[in-house]
Amino acid sequence: MSHDLPLANIITLGVSEIAGERDFYRRLGWPLVLDTDDFVVFELRGALLALFGVDDLGRDAHAEPERGRGGIRSSIIITVDRPEDVDELTERARAAGARITQDPVAAAFFAGRDAYFADPDNNY
């Protein structure tokens, strides 16, 4: 294994409804690089976001699927070039069907601006 390669470059979300999740991320304008009935992949500026049915992910990993309990378990950080891009992305996410949990504000834990939203399957 080459040490020049990143250790992690694909984020896989186990989702309850692939078609709805696919449509959400397409409405955000993210480039679709693989699209099957069971597995969907989007390009994230060098990394990939994969959507996999939660039951299929559980079978593949030989693990019990976690369906969540309504709270935040993880988040995917989307980096933008300018602070005002946070506002634009948040509005694009809202129009695509996201639930905005924090409107854009000055970030509390770093210099800059941030916001939070959840996709239709409650992934942040």
Round to whole Å and give the CA distance between 93 and 116.
10
Residues 1 and 59 grouped into a single domain: yes
Q: Is 57 helix (H, G, I), strand (E, B) or coil?
A: helix
Residue 7 inside a domain? The answer is yes
Residue 1 inside a domain? The answer is yes
Residue 4: pLDDT band with limits 50, 70, 90: low
- Model confidence at 69: pLDDT above 80: no
Average pLDDT along the chain? 87
> What's the whole-model pTM score?
0.78
Residues 34 and 90 grouped into a single domain: no
Query: What's the rounded mean pLDDT across residues 70-83?
Result: 79
- Model confidence at 33: pLDDT above 70: yes
Round to whole Å and give the CA distance between 10 and 8.
6
Its domain, for residue 6, covers 1-65
Residue 23 neighbours by CB distance under 10 Å: 14
Residues 60 and 1 grouped into a single domain: yes
Tokens in use for 100? 């905005």
- Model confidence at 1: pLDDT above 60: no
Tokens in use for 123? 């992934």
Task: Judge whether 53 and 65 are in contact, CB under 8 Å.
Answer: no
Residues 12 and 61 grouped into a single domain: yes
Give Rg (Cα) of the chain.
15
Higher confidence at residue 109 or residue 55? 55
Tokens in use for 32? 């679709």
Residues 88 and 37 grouped into a single domain: no
pLDDT in tens, 49-66: 999 998 898 888 788 887
Please identify which residue in the block is written with the tokens 């309850």: 16
Residue 72 inside a domain? The answer is no
Q: Domain tally for the chain?
A: 2
Residues 3 and 57 grouped into a single domain: yes
- Whole-angstrom CA distances from 70 to 23, 47, 112 are 22, 27, 28
- Model confidence at 3: pLDDT above 80: no
